[in-house]
Structure 1
């Protein structure tokens, strides 16, 4: 685990970062030894190790598991059985994963000690931003956070999403550290009414626009939701600023009291300035225009978030886009030690103290199935250019747990491997023997959207499904389009969108293209354009099923019939690929 250090001391943070990334092997061996010795008497470990707590026995006897393999143990603890089924320390709560693909969050145990470690982990990153971006320490952060109402397990354990957990860990009676770095008061950031919280965070940011040095949200997608919300509410925000009066629909006490510290008098000059910028024909660079002293946008824009990079670059007007860290509900893992890297080049340096990490080498055609033990290596034994699925063992009771993320080794920082996030380890689309994963689909869609630029159109969001009701079956991609110009009517040209269909197909691998052109086993790819706001409706559906706005990611494959009904009801036009793609046996991408 991370040794104790002063998180408010930048030199201490940077020194610790150098130390833990240098002594990687020693730390990893120590972490595994500590986890096994502490948890030796748990029912789970006893059943496999029978007291043999050395590394060799761990690797030989303990199975590599998915959540569903391990779920019965988690459910037993959640339902009231003793915590020492899987962990030596009591759990303080259960974290809910985002679960947007399947629609139902997973439950993941968390100890108070592990929560403290995650907060320390987050502290390691801030000094890197100050070091690499001049002037960022001269203002505060306008970071948009949203909490989700917590639930309980059958035995009374709280169930929270990760960002809700972090926000609620701040003591509201002693939040001076929060107030020192954040524009919005803690009370507003923890409002459970998302719309009221978002509105008041924006209002705080506009009222203190000259003091905003950093903008952002946990993920690129959630920050874009904020921008869309601003687009719908800027005139009302201006009215509040002009009159010094808060809108009547803001009724949550913590929002009313929180904003009362800043909305103290009419400010017609500021209202006119905001109105002037927001009423312009184009919103290109709107963030820089509204917050002139902002130095960067912080939001994870890697993996499935990469598709939002062009939109954030459009709205940001040249502000650097920073993906700060890599983590999950199961474990916090790595940080970006080069904050100014382009989003497409971001690699995360694994912090070896956060858990014990193993890596299963992945080939292009590898999917679920039996694990070859010889393909599992330790953190220090990964090879540059190779792809691996991450396997974690944590202090909170997860053992050899397949996280499902595929990472590509790009280099080393001191002795700590650096990884590029590739994709989730699963097939997204398959009609026949074709296997199109998340990375393949994202690259293909990105290539196709280049055709939209000359028509001043932007892809706002997308998802996909396989339509098996036709013969042969075919891929369907849902697109929500936007314009670079405000209030412009979205009327996509049929020829352009059909060429987009074809461009996607041309970008897919040779197996898909062969099945399309020669074997005729896959039908023409289809793009269905949906009306503005359709993906907000999709998000609201998943939020109603227990997901969290702060952690929500648009699923790249939709299988839920209810979710598909939302999308299909929003379709305004449909386009099919006009011809079959070429088929030359290009070299297959192996992930190396």
Structure 2
């Protein structure tokens, strides 16, 4: 647990960060002791520990598990059994994960105490930004948040996303702090209609453009969705500013009352200025042009979000991209204590107070080095990780998760005081496989990053992508769905077949030697295919996943799709197809091997 401190006092926040990262081992031991002493009599732990609450018994007897191993306990609580199956405190909500990795959201238990800790955690990073970015505290933040549709279990337990839970649980003091920091009023950010909320948050930001010193969203993808929304609605927004009158279709009471404080009189001069910028043929640096005092864009740009960096740089016009923290529905983990580091160099420093965190060793070379599947994986303590090694985090929380595998791959880059720092590499799960090949998210992201460089000389940008395996013919092959955009507004896109076929080949050349050998020698894998989809295809895909329980704020495009319904959406939007015409080399070569 974090020590008590005043979240409105920057020095206190920075002092807490220094203290907890300087005593990582002691804090981790005390966190585990507190969790076990509280929860030893729960049905779950009693079955493994039989009353023993020491660290050695915990590590020896409590298994490392995945969600599927744990699901039955969550299901029992969802239908009305007591929280003390897994936790000594009442579970106030089940957090719905983003739901795009496996297609169906996972439900993660949350207690009131844990939620309070996460709100405190979130208050720690603003002072870090102010410390590193001059002038940031002189204005406000235009950060786009959206609540999502909520559900209930059969027993009446709320099912919410983490961001929705966070937003709707702020007490009056927290919401007052919100309105001091954020451009958009708390009432607008908690509007349940995402479209109305997005429109009004943008309108607030444009009306107060001179006061905006930071823009952002939880993820790079959600910030780019806002930019695209602005591209589609700027003329209407200008009309509202010019007339001082809100559009009639904005009917939500929270949005109407929230906007009443800002849209108070006609401002034709501001409307004309915004209109002039938005009507230019290129939207390069549009963020900097519309918000001249902005110092940075804050959004997570690591892992699968890294593919959006070129687009953020294009729209941002050189504004620093700040990727501040790493966390999930299961646990909040750590901060980027060097916020101005380049996106490719971002490391997160673990905050050891948030849960008991172990690390499962991940063998980076298991595809080519003959990994022994019978070898028991090694689990090490937080402070015992080795710089340069890859690990999967395993968390034990106050809310009732015990030795729970997250599925992420983290690479240790160093230590801040005594707390490890790591880069987010990707998901541990194999996302594409036909024969002996195993392509992980990290592999695919690197391959696509290499290929999309071929688009730049032609004024094209890769807006989004996903993938699947097509086994309808033999041999099966990888299929990539690409949505392309032009750097010149409203320009007709001319797709050069030679360029797109070379993109196919570059992806293949960038994958590991097992894939390349399957293509060239074994003939067990067919030529890779890129299917270009029409503009808006990935919005349709997102709408599908939102209907399944994901949220706009937490949504991440899945890097592979297996859902038949989702694939039908993508296939219906395909406008052209390209196939690799060359066969990649298969020799082991370090340049292209990524695992």
Shorter-chain TM-score tier: over 0.9
Separation in 1 of the partners of 2:270 and 2:531? 42
Describe the superposition over 1:29-87 as per-residue Cα deviations: whole angstroms up to 9, x where unpaired: 11111110111111111110001111111011101100010111111112111111100
Q: Deviations 1:103-125 (Å, cap 9, x if unpaired)?
A: 22111110000000001111111
User: 1:215-294 maps to which residues of 2 (within 5 A)?
Assistant: 215-294=215-294
419, 423, 432: which one aligns with 2:422: 419
Query: Which among 385, 389, 410 is matched to residue 386 of structure 1?
Result: 389
- SS of residue in 2 equivalent to 1:521: coil
Q: Check conservation: 2:531, 2:577, Cα contact below 8 A.
A: yes
Unaligned runs of 5+ in 2: none
Map of 1:410 onto structure 2: 413
Tell me the residue number matched to 2:587.
584
Aligned to 1:391, the other structure's residue is in SS state strand
Instruction: Give me the whole-angstrom Cα distance separating, in 1, the residues matched to 2:151 and 2:361.
Output: 38
Task: Specify the SS of the correspondent of 2:457.
Answer: helix
Structure 2 residue aligned with 1:363 = 363
**Equivalence for 2:178:** 178
Secondary structure at 2:353's aligned position in 1?
Answer: helix
1:333 matched residue in structure 2: 333
Residues 373-413 of structure 1 show CA distances to partners (whole Å, capped at 9, x for unaligned) of: 56110001100000001100000000000011110000000
1:485 aligns with one of 470, 483, 488: 488
Match of 2:477 among 468, 474, 477: 474
The aligned residue for residue 305 of structure 1 is 305
| Alignment equivalent of 1:446, drawn from 445, 449, 455 | 449
Give the secondary structure class of the aligned counterpart of 2:255: helix
Q: What is the correspondence of 1:128-207 to structure 2 with a 5 Å cutoff? A: 128-171=128-171, 175-207=175-207
* Distance in 1 (alpha carbons) for counterparts of 2:414 and 2:2: 23
- Pairwise CA distance, 1:95: 0.8
CA contact (8 A) 1:146 1:190 kept: yes
Q: Secondary structure of the residue that 1:92 maps to in structure 2?
A: strand
Deviation at 1:174, TM superposition (A): 7.2
* Cα separation, partners in 2 of 1:409 and 1:97, compared to 1, 3 Å: same
1:370 CA displacement: 7.5
Partners of 1:441 and 1:331 lie apart in 2 by: 27
How much is the aligned-residue C-alpha RMSD, in angstroms? 1.6
Q: Is the 8 A contact 1:362 1:591 kept in 2?
A: no
Tell me by how many angstroms 1:178 deviates. 1.2
User: Using the alignment, how far apart are the partners of 1:89 and 1:63 within structure 2?
Assistant: 22
Q: Distance in 2 between matches of 1:50 and 1:578?
A: 62
Decide whether aligned partners of structure 1 residues 374 and 404 sit closer, same or farther in structure 2, where only a CA change above 3 A counts.
Answer: closer
Are residues 1:549 and 2:552 paired?
yes
Which residue of structure 1 aligns with residue 104 of structure 2?
A: 104
**C-alpha displacement at 1:589, in angstroms?**
9.0
Task: Tell me by how many angstroms 1:372 deviates.
Answer: 5.4
How many correspondences in the alignment?
A: 592
Separation (CA, whole Å) in 2 of partners of 1:385 and 1:532: 40
> Structure 1, residues 16-36: CA drift from partner, whole Å, max 9, x if none?
111110101101111111110
- Closer/same/farther in 2, CA of residues 151 and 425 from structure 1, 3 Å limit: same
State the alpha-carbon separation in 1 of the partners of residues 549 and 104 from structure 2. 7
Rounded Cα–Cα distance in structure 2 between residues aligned with 1:63 and 1:589: 37
Deviation at 1:586, TM superposition (A): 2.0
C-alpha separation between the residues in 2 aligned to 1:260 and 1:103? 40
Partner of 2:508: 505
Deviations 1:136-177 (A, max 9, x none): 000000000000121111111111101001111123697321
Distance, in Å, in 1 between the alignment partners of 2:450 and 2:373 is: 35
Give the deviation of 1:331 after TM superposition.
0.3
- Alpha-carbon distance, 1:323 to partner: 0.5
Aligned partner of 2:574 among 571, 574, 578: 571
Residues in 1 aligned to 2:63 and 2:587: alpha-carbon distance in whole angstroms:
41
Whole-angstrom distance in 2 between the partners of 1:590 and 1:476: 20
1:347 pairs with 2:317: no
| CA contact 2:93–2:110 (8 Å) conserved in 1 | yes
Find the residue that maps to 2:184 and give its secondary structure: coil
Match of 1:118 in 2: 118
Deviation of 1:102 after TM superposition, in Å, equals 2.7
Does structure 2 retain, via aligned residues, the 8 Å contact 1:387–1:591? no
Partners of 1:589 and 1:411 in 2: CA distance: 26
